[in-house]
């Protein structure tokens, strides 16, 4: 009998991000910043990798659930806030990082550099908080 890891990332959110997958957003969501960056700069490997990912998302979701801890901070909520309001630091307020949230708010995501940094590291930040408080 195998027990499945608790779900940390949503397949539904991943498929919605996959629509814009040529930007690598779904790969960033699952904690794959290197391939996410490659997808971003190559438009999803010229669309071929993007189409293949349509079938790989369930496996990426299972891998993320094994890798990241569940806890009080929801990965999907943090990612949606980062994606749409990250330049205002709303995701940082959500994670309890009030100080850096204020910095992001006053500097438009630390002049965009912080926004990109968070895109590359958000899963790790949420995981650290969840492991510490969970």
- Delimit the domains of the chain by residue range: 11-67, 75-133
Whole-number pLDDT of residue 3: 63
Average pLDDT, the chain: 94
Whole-number pLDDT of residue 48: 95
How does residue 20 score in pLDDT terms, banded at 50, 70 and 90?
Answer: confident
Which letter does DSSP use for residue 1 in this model? -
Q: How far apart are CA 134 and CA 129, in angstroms?
A: 8
98-111 average pLDDT score: 97
Assess whether pLDDT exceeds 70 at residue 102.
yes
The H or E element spanning position 47 is none
Q: How does pLDDT run across 25-72, given as a tens digit for each residue?
A: 999 999 999 999 999 999 999 999 999 999 999 999 999 999 999 999
Query: Helices in the chain by DSSP H: which ranges?
Result: 11-18, 25-29, 33-46, 48-67, 75-85, 90-94, 98-111, 113-133
125-132 average pLDDT score: 97
How does residue 124 score in pLDDT terms, banded at 50, 70 and 90?
Answer: very high
Crossing angle for the helix pair 113-133 and 33-46, nearest 10 degrees?
130
Q: How far apart are CA 126 and CA 79, in angstroms?
A: 10
């Amino acid at each position: 009998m195998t027990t499945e890891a608790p779900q940390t990332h949503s397949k539904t959110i991943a498929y919605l991000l996959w629509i814009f997958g040529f930007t690598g957003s779904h790969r960033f969501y699952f904690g794959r910043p290197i391939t996410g960056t490659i997808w971003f700069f190559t438009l999803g490997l010229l669309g071929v990798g993007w189409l293949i990912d349509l079938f790989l998302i369930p496996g990426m979701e299972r891998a993320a659930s094994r890798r990241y801890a569940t806890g009080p901070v929801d990965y999907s909520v943090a990612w949606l806030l980062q994606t749409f309001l990250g330049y205002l630091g709303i995701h940082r307020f959500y994670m309890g990082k009030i100080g850096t949230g204020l910095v992001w708010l006053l500097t438009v995501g630390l002049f965009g550099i912080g926004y990109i940094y968070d895109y590359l590291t958000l899963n790790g930040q949420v995981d650290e908080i969840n492991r510490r408080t969970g």
